[in-house]
Amino acid sequence: MSPRQSTRSLSRREMLKRVSCGFGYVALAGLCNEGQAAAAPLSPLAPKQPHFAAKAKRIIFLCMHGGPTHVETFEHKPKLQADDGKQSHKNPNMQYLASRWEFKQRGQSGLWISELFPNVAQHADDLCLLNGCLTDNPNHPQALDQLHTGSFQFTRPSIGAWTLYGLGSENQSLPGFITISPKSGTARQYGSAFLPALYQGTPVGEHGKGISQAVVSNLANKVLAPDEQQAQLALIQKLNRDSLASQQSNPKLEGVIEAYELAFRMQNEFPQVMDTKSETADTLKLYGIDEPATAEFGKQCLLARRFAEAGVRYFEITHGDWDAHGSLQAIMGNNSKATDKPIAGLLADLKQRGLLQDTLVVWGGEFGRTPDDPTRNGRGHNHKGYSMWMCGGGVKGGIAHGCTDDYGYEAIDGRVHTHDLHATMLHLMGLDHQRLTYRYGGRDFRLTDVHGRVVQEVIA
């Protein structure tokens, strides 16, 4: 019996099971987020007005998993260099470990940037260095959770989900929140928690596999023509509405079933955005896609630009592992080489296309590293002081905000806690972190909980 004939004698439940095969993983595992709104008169993902005029329309977060060392990247420490090998004043069993890479002042602004990032350094006058960052937990899983959700103790919605909840999506044919090749076990870092499921992030690709191997399984229905698929979806929607009319609302079921509508719309646009064959040789070279060491991350950065153009609100790329307890020179050397040119290419491409002015690019990890080590071959975790940077999207360029002490142990000036970072990112998107709330369990929740200060000093 053909699929067209079989639907006549199937129960509603069985039919839903079978038609799901024609839309696959994207509809069910990640994209139920946008589908939940399909039957509503006005989609919850329709673009919404911000609380006030936004400086940025979208965010690209470059997540450096593992915690890159700030004293080797974006915070110059002459005192640490001078005292290399001496006993640490903080830890008697440790010795100061100076950076093995030279810092130079870059651009007209004179920002100190390590030789590990010669290409990113060319954008010094557009960078806003945050050298006084700090967070609450020195362990990777908890610190990564807090970086993404504001909490290291409880499951909370990610910042991408909050952004989508507050502003909606600019493109109803694409997910509004995408994460590229996330590591396993990190689902709650792009989840929606108690927010409706339609705001969760959509993972594309698997960590450890090349992005060119990322397949959107069964996105296209090989059995039914587009008009037949649309008729099938219309029938499913009618059955679903009839069922919901006779019972209490079931948002999760409704979201999964209505995700088919998004999957149908995605069949054309999503593959087009993922397909980079139309890019010129010069563009591929700009991102380092023509070189083995930078090709993989370069492709991901190129996708970030393409999805930004297509209207995706929040896009995350993860690179790691930067966890240099040992083999410091190899880990830092390899990771910086793999990411420097692609990131610089992304900034240059966004700028030449007029996108950087309303795209907020954020670079950083869950914490930094210690300035001392007993083996002199690595660095421990340091959540009390580290560096991140922002670019575009309404931030001042060519400035270094905040700093750690002379050696890099703790943030002492211009301190930017994770809650402050989140408050500032939302502010740049036109959202007041104190007003962006969701009622759950008897109280109003927000990304920054009861904390957070907008870092006005970095806003242009």
Alpha-carbon span 22 to 217, nearest angstrom: 9
More confident residue, 238 or 26: 238
> What is the radius of gyration, based on Cα positions, of the chain?
23
> Does pLDDT of 286 surpass 80?
yes
- In the chain the domains, ranked by start, together with CATH numbers, are 45-223+280-458 (3.40.720.10)
More confident residue, 296 or 38: 296
More confident residue, 312 or 259: 312
Record the tokens describing residue 89, joined without a space.
């004043």
> Does pLDDT of 263 surpass 80?
no
Which of 164-178, 212-226, 399-413 has the largest mean confidence? 399-413
Give the pLDDT band (50/70/90) at residue 225: confident
User: Which residue type, as a one-letter code, is found at position 263?
Assistant: A
More confident residue, 396 or 265: 396
Record the tokens describing residue 416, joined without a space.
């930017």
Closest C-alpha to 362, from 393, 396, 404: 393
In this predicted model, what pLDDT tens digit does every residue of 25-34 receive, in sequence order?
Answer: 344 444 444 4
Helix (H, G, I), strand (E, B) or coil at 122: helix
3-state SS track over 235-294: HHHHHHHHHHHCCCCCHHHHHHHHHHHHHHHHHHHHHHHHCCCCCCHHHHHHCCCCCHHH
Element (H, E) at 295: helix 292-310
Record the tokens describing residue 45, joined without a space.
């993902």
In this predicted model, what pLDDT tens digit does every residue of 348-361 receive, in sequence order?
Answer: 999 999 999 999 99
Are 36 and 44 spatial neighbours (Cβ–Cβ below 8 Å)?
yes
In this predicted model, what pLDDT tens digit does every residue of 117-127 receive, in sequence order?
Answer: 999 999 999 99
Helix (H, G, I), strand (E, B) or coil at 416: strand
Are 415 and 132 spatial neighbours (Cβ–Cβ below 8 Å)?
yes
In this predicted model, what pLDDT tens digit does every residue of 384-436 receive, in sequence order?
Answer: 999 999 999 999 999 999 999 999 999 999 999 999 999 999 999 999 999 99
Are 211 and 205 spatial neighbours (Cβ–Cβ below 8 Å)?
yes
Alpha-carbon span 223 to 85, nearest angstrom: 69
